[in-house]
A = this chain, B = another copy of it.
């Protein structure tokens, strides 16, 4: 076999990016693989739409036509939704094709089944493009994990939300205006629910959890909150305290339990995500040997995502992707906080006369907004009992300027 035959499922931003990159980087690919990479087929939905695809490529809306090609080595899947994608990929694996996917929703739901099936058929599954676009997060985590034990992973995994939060802070815009701008720029879909309600970040978080810890939490135990409740007033109040809102996914393991959340939090300037702005993504990994490593880069876009998919293409063709099924990692305890240690929270709607010995009032930045130190349990109780408008945790060090008192928190 002197040619590697590839089929691309979907010809949206990512699919087209993969197609164009295989053309433009043909020489590099041949240099690395010792074989020519050729796009044999593209699966599309609407046969009548005009596309810039070479005439010798099979362009079809019927997946069976692709499956019946005499030679087919790799399928790059860049569609949305779980079905019929999952069914297609199972069929492709059964035919003996390597699989590369950029579809986080499908992979979060069915990744384990696909990996199991691929193992059985002795092919590989690449999914670098499902998390953080062009940033090689998955391979880097795998490399670190050869030796290191992961303590926690946190990430800004949704560029759209980060763009909206940045616009709201920098340009003092409302959520609605910032969202419209994101839509106009092509960062957000017409229906932005997946991005702004945290579903997209949630799926990516579950995929990261499997890599970092070999397993994932029960999905229903994961706190998932989007950015729709964040007002420009809140952002301004935070700004005055030197804090910024970031939509952060975090995963850690305590004992035998994986804890994960995807939610807006406030970060101080010492936090590795304080300067991650606009559509950028970032992932921070804390391990026992290396300590804290942060990777930052474009989390989406035609060529960054295509690059991730094609890095996978190289690995599956070189047979270098670890075929190892996810294995559970032991829990490690690194500078762990005590179970009920207090955290800092910014809170709106709690009256100062509310008296509880477990709450320390740190500062009141406006008539309504206060910073308190307390534990998560009490916060849950307050939200259910009191007239709390909103409440967000603060991560990282920050300095309260009003009274020059430094509040230091480990950046977990």
Contacts and interface: CB of A to CB of B under 8 A. Distances in A.
Interface in A256-294: 269, 272, 274-275, 287-294
Interface residues of A, number: 43
Secondary structure at the A interface, as helix, strand, loop or mixed, is mixed
A293 B297 contact: yes
Given A28-B147, A147-B310, A148-B307, A291 B298 contact: yes
Nearest to A32: B146
Nearest to A27: B330
Contacts of A269: 275
A45 interface: no
B147 A289 contact: no
Interface string A383-401: 0000000000000000000
Query: How many copies of this protein are present in the complex?
Result: 2
A296 B282 CA distance: 11
B28 A311 contact: no
B293 A135 contact: yes
B134 A290 contact: yes
A240 to B, nearest CB: 19
Given A275-B274, A307-B147, A290 B298 contact: yes
Interface in A145-190: 146-149
Contacts of A306: 289
Interface string A27-43: 01101100000000000
Interface of A: 21, 25, 28-29, 31-32, 134-136, 139-140, 143-144, 146-149, 269, 272, 274-275, 287-298, 301, 303-304, 306-307, 310-311, 314, 320, 327
Sorted from nearest, which 6 A-B pairs have the closest CB atoms?
A: A134-B290, A293-B297, A289-B307, A289-B303, A146-B314, A294-B296
Given A28-B147, A290-B298, A293-B297, 9 more contacts: A25-B147, A28-B149, A135-B290, A139-B139, A143-B311, A147-B307, A272-B296, A289-B307, A291-B304
